[in-house]
């Protein structure tokens, strides 16, 4: 059994990790570390796990784990690793932004399995992609891989309230979020950096803008993204490129029907739909921001790192109604 530890156990991403790992056939959940909840039952915070586990949050960290998931706020993973002497045999999967950008200062591998599978299999440290970055990258990277991103890319995407984390802010209170909709961080969202990095890895000469407008939706979870750019080929050409790219992907599917969030919420899937309008290719992409956009993809990466079938423990069903 793979011995697993979780650092930062009280948040949404940790809750989803716990829910899935408790049922993962190859995993033993060794400890769930939380400074704010140490000693309390895990179900005190993650109430959906009542009857599923008797685990308590721990105030201590065991070095005897095979893999450690870091579910910490952005900027805190670097601080945590600097402050703790972990076993050199412990693999790390970080869900924050701290190590997503390639640097000589670290050896973290960017964990987007559809485009980095072999490197993930060999990796000791994984930087799990951001939720918007996952949805948008899966929408446009097939074009970059074929050197076909020749113009600016325009993206509009909406995320649910869980994308903001558990800490309350003005824009996460029910009275603000309910029956409301807003844009934020237009053209400046932090996930643009990792999207651009992935594009450059596949199409080094790409020098066009990726224009991204993120939005807050009045639902709990999911991301619905639309991206468009100029494309000289036919709709059939585009579909053939995308289906070939994702032919062996465990969770990413190109479909002909209209897509919507209820097809993917509570799953690790990404659904893509392609449409041609004049000289523009429109790609619609939907994911669950907490699963394919965070914890599910982290477990997908863990499976690859330990030589397991990629979908182990992740055959989850959407709630259509």
Catalytic residues: 131
DSSP assignment of 256-295? SS---GGGTTTSS-EEEEEEEETTEEEEEEEE-TTTTTTH
φ/ψ of residue 257, rounded to 5: -80, 165
Token digits of residue 82:
């600097």
Query: Which segments of the chain does DSSP mark as H helices, in order?
Result: 12-21, 42-45, 76-83, 113-122, 131-145, 174-177, 191-202, 235-245, 295-305
* Distance from C-alpha of 54 to C-alpha of 22, rounded to nearest angstrom: 11
* Distance from C-alpha of 189 to C-alpha of 74, rounded to nearest angstrom: 14
Nearest Cα residue to 66 out of 302, 299, 316: 302
Query: Which segments of 150-249 does DSSP mark as H helices, in order?
Result: 174-177, 191-202, 235-245
| Cβ neighbours of residue 41 closer than 8 Å, sequence gap 6 or more | 54, 55, 56, 57
Neighbouring C-beta atoms of residue 293, cutoff 10 Å:
28
* Distance from C-alpha of 128 to C-alpha of 251, rounded to nearest angstrom: 16
The DSSP code for 58 is B
* Distance from C-alpha of 193 to C-alpha of 185, rounded to nearest angstrom: 13
């Amino acid at each position: 059994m793979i011995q697993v530890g979780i650092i930062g156990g009280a948040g949404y991403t940790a809750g989803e990790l716990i829910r899935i790992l408790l049922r993962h056939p190859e995993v033993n959940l060794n400890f769930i570390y939380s400074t704010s909840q140490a000693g309390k039952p895990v179900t005190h915070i993650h109430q959906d796990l009542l009857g599923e586990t008797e685990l308590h949050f721990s105030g201590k960290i065991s070095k005897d784990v095979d893999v450690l998931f870091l579910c910490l706020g952005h900027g805190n993973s670097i601080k945590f690793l600097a402050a703790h002497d972990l076993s050199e045999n412990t693999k790390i999967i970080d869900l924050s932004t701290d190590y997503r950008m390639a640097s000589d200062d670290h050896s973290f591998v960017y964990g987007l399995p559809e485009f980095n599978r072999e490197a993930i299999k060999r990796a000791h440290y994984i930087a799990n992609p951001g939720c918007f970055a996952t949805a948008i990258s899966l929408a446009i990277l097939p074009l970059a891989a074929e050197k076909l991103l020749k113009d600016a890319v325009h993206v509009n995407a909406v995320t649910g309230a869980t994308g903001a984390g558990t800490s309350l802010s003005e824009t996460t209170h029910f009275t603000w979020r309910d029956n409301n909709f807003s844009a934020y961080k237009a053209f400046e969202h932090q996930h643009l950096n990792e999207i651009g990095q992935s594009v450059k890895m596949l199409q080094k000469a790409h020098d066009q803008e990726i224009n991204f407008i993120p939005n807050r939706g009045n639902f709990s979870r999911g991301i619905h993204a639309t991206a468009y750019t100029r494309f000289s080929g036919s709709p059939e050409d585009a579909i053939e490129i995308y289906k070939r790219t994702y032919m062996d992907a465990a969770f990413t599917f190109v479909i002909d029907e209209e897509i919507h969030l209820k097809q993917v919420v509570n799953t690790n899937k990404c659904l893509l739909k392609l449409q041609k309008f004049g000289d523009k290719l429109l790609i619609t992409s939907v994911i669950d921001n907490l699963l394919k956009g965070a914890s599910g993809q982290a477990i997908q990466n863990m499976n690859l790192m330990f030589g397991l079938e990629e979908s182990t423990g992740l055959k989850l069903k959407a709630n259509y109604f």
